[in-house]
Amino acid sequence: MDLKDKKCIPCSTYVPPLSQEEKERLLKSLSPEWKLTENNSRIRRDVKFKNFKRALEFTNEVGRIAEEEKHHPEIHLGWGHCDIELWTHTNNNLVENDFIVAAKIDEAHARLYPASP
């Protein structure tokens, strides 16, 4: 099953972080714009747009996904960009939920802004 087709599992208590090998494997299933950051304890994608309106539109879609999954990223919005960082706060590291939300964000970006032919 693709990550984008999974649902996040609530983790209100400590959940062990993924191994480095698992992080790298799951990262390969995301768009190449996602990078491991903060000593491999977070994933981040910086998305560029032609104006503020599009960046805000995308930010709102990311917010909708986060609410639906009950797993919330850090989002930095500015003129022409929306920067997204995911990690699980209960363990200050990465679990599968982070990659599920990232995959759903990738799908939303592809849907809203299909590549030009």
Give pLDDT < 50 ranges for the chain: 116-117
Q: Write the CA distances from 27 to 12, 21, 55, integer angstroms.
A: 24, 10, 24
Write down the pLDDT at residue 19. 97
In a domain, 3, yes or no: no
In a domain, 90, yes or no: yes
In a domain, 66, yes or no: yes
d(CA 115, CA 117): 6
Q: Tokens 């990550």 label which residue?
A: 3
Write down the pLDDT at residue 116. 46
CATH (domain of 92): 3.30.1360.20
Write down the pLDDT at residue 6. 83
d(CA 14, CA 93): 10
d(CA 62, CA 10): 18
Total number of domains constituting the chain: 1
Q: Report yes or no: 102 and 110 within 8 Å, Cβ to Cβ.
A: no
In a domain, 2, yes or no: no
In a domain, 6, yes or no: no
What count of residues does the chain have?
Answer: 117
In a domain, 4, yes or no: no
pLDDT digits over 11-31, tens only? 777 889 999 999 999 999 999
Give the domain range for residue 101: 18-112
Write down the pLDDT at residue 52. 97
In a domain, 108, yes or no: yes
Does pTM top 0.75 for this prediction? yes
Write down the pLDDT at residue 117. 39
Write down the pLDDT at residue 89. 92
Q: Report yes or no: 94 and 16 within 8 Å, Cβ to Cβ.
A: no
Closest CA to 71 of 47, 115, 101, 107: 101
Q: Is 101 exposed, middle or buried (0-12, 13-18, 19+ CB in 10 A)?
A: buried
Write down the pLDDT at residue 107. 97
Write down the pLDDT at residue 28. 97
In a domain, 65, yes or no: yes
